[in-house]
Chain A
Amino acid sequence: MRMLAQGQAATGFATPRLVTDIAACHFYHSFDLPGLGCVEGEWDLRGDIDGYLGYAPFAGRRVLEVGPASGFCTLAMEQRGAEVVALELPDEPGWDFVPYPEARLAPVLGPRREVMDGVKNSWWFVHRLHGLRARQVVAHAAEIPPLAGQFDLAVLASVLLHCRDPLGVLQACAQRARGLIITEVFCPDLEGRPVCALVPDDANFHWGTWWRFSSDYFVQILRVMGFHVRPAVISAQRVRQPGGYLDDYRVFCLVAERP
């Protein structure tokens, strides 16, 4: 008998969380929420969500969104006519932590679990306020439940940099979707070569981010997998820094579809 992930209904889709208190939410994305106004998150995609998603057409398409965070892309894609299924991490084992020594990681684990819970709450909060139809599946991206079905597009926006095995996740999504959208931070120093760079080292303690990628890295592997890849779209997105100020991040987005 297949074990259901926490919060997973027998249909394969997550049981909606009823979140009515904004204080229970941690907003990863900034929003203009009905009746509440502007809520600021770490990433403000409001200025150029089309660029962030590579100007892909969404009308009438079934979309698997891996790692929806607070749901700004969920909202945008649904507003553009997509049927969205969001794939959220289970609480356990949860985040793909970089294997720093246990003693060093221990102080991070509890707070991170709380943040993740707040982020998941924010997705359901936005879902309720905007009356979204999107559904959620709880699973690791490399193990997408068959019940979720097949998709026109799988969206991996700022997700693969956090995955220990990004190509495994990519392959799993490619098996379930005819098209892929990949958005990552643009790294000019890596461009021109099909490479990625390991981010964490013993000094920086980047426990949650594994990789920086060149766009060529994904273009090459997507072509290997039989996808036709459109030119990368570069957009500028505002990201809140630890000091509270907003900085422009350049991101690239690749839209790939099988012929």
Chain B
Amino acid sequence: MTPGDKAWPARHQAPRLRAAFGADDPDTVLGRAIAGSIRRCGQGDVLFLPALDPAREAAILAAAIQLAPSPRPWVVRAASAAAALPPGSFAAAVLTAGPAPPFAEIASLLHPAGRLLVDASLLPASCRCWPEVLPLLRHIWQGLPWDLRFDRRLGRLDPWLEGADYNPDLAPPVAPLDPLPALRAAFTPEAWHAWGGLTELLFGDRFGANYRDGEPTHRVFFARVQALEDHLLATGGTTPTRLLGVFRPGASVPTALPPGWARPLRPLPPLDLVRLGFDSPFASPPLPPLVSAPPGVVTWFGAAGRGPLMLRWGWSSPERDLTWAVGRRSALAFICPPGVGRLTLRSHGYLPGTEDSGRQVVVRLNGAELGVIIHPAEAPSQEIQWPLPPGLLRPEGNLLEFDSPGSHPAAPPPGTADRRPLSFALVSMEVR
């Protein structure tokens, strides 16, 4: 690997910040916003949530003092964003790290002309992107040259974007942790820039230094990922993972809301990249391999079986004897001789509560509905056979899709920390 240029992503991000704030970097943005708040309020009390490292704090305050020499900023530092907040009437509160603070209380501490300044990740500490964009990211990832997939932090290639910190299986439930609803209930955005998890991850501290100015393709790729991220944020494909913004106290009126600040109901399948207009500037990647399913041979979906190589999207990590579908839609691909006439699936339903709709899974092969798997409470394990109409199987490979409208993201069994939105598990598949 060539030595990395850690400033590459920030340099290419600068025009966006300039357009939104008139400044190229977050520290200057925050400094200018503090200066504006001090001028409006006629006082210099500034609350940092939490305390910053001294060098960064000094840089922000220097930018503020340059624009508003008097009154001088008077800094109050909270231990953390969630700690008990000090009393006062602040010209500005600067939020730079989670967990999500009590926004209503912050609003009450601000001078009426004061501002909340946010430069923070909105994600729980164990996540770097919202789970709904991970299928898209992984699809893009597999199309990148291998040198762009080199993990600088771990010093190794990451072939599948497999790091635990962006594994949705390990993420806590995202909805309760999403701070945006509370933020917009207490504040209205004036100027803001949001990241949606794509640029943050693809060009973050692990991989960002893999990019070089001398490679025009790298710049084109960055711009296209930014455009895709903007589109997802604007259309509700995801919500911000990180915000740099200036907020004034008072609830957002709906028309003032940035678009796309509502969590999507389902992940976008990777194939939607085409619909979204994303076009990678790199040579098209090898298509994912197709696993052969010879007639009469059972393919198992436990971790040691061949089945996991068939999985495309919507699955959790394979477990010892099976693989759980996560969320509503999942799919796998395989190739088999054209003459087979029957498909057998063994599955296991996830039945944490009494909701009947969660027990049904609609199965489609190459777009044609084969039938529905029903997992009744008294017999959650099912073996279903379907005849395959002539001509349904394709010689170039087959896509088997599962749609389970009643997955159960919000009702984990008592006593377990597993909050995955499980719907059913696939145990085995056989064609004859």
Contacts and interface: CB of A to CB of B under 8 A. Distances in A.
B283 A223 contact: yes
A231 B289 contact: yes
Interface in A1-51: 47-48, 50-51
Nearest to B294: A48
A48 B340 CA distance: 14
Contacts of A55: 292, 335, 337, 395
14 contacts: A47-B294, A50-B294, A50-B337, A192-B157, A216-B146, A229-B286, A231-B288, A231-B290, A232-B286, A232-B289, A234-B290, A234-B309, A235-B291, A250-B306
Nearest to A192: B159
Which of B159, B288, B297 is most buried by chain A, counting CB atoms within 10 A of its CB? B159
B396 interface: yes
B289 A47 contact: no
What is the predominant secondary structure among interface residues of chain B facing chain A?
A: loop
Interface residues on A, range: 20 to 34
B21 to A, nearest CB: 39
B258 interface: no
A219 B345 CA distance: 33
A250 B397 CA distance: 18
- What range describes how many residues of B lie at the interface? 20 to 34
Lowest 6 A-B CB distances belong to which pairs? A51-B292, A192-B159, A235-B292, A231-B287, A48-B294, A232-B289
Output the residue of B149, B283, B294, B337 with the most chain A CB within 10 A.
Answer: B294
A215 interface: yes
* Highest count of chain A CB atoms <10 Å: which of B283, B291, B292: B292
B278 interface: no
B286 A47 contact: no
Nearest to B306: A236
A29 B297 CA distance: 20
Contacts of B167: none
A185 to B, nearest CB: 13
B289 A252 contact: yes
Contacts of A48: 292, 294, 297
A236 to B, nearest CB: 6
B309 to A, nearest CB: 6
A163 B315 CA distance: 39
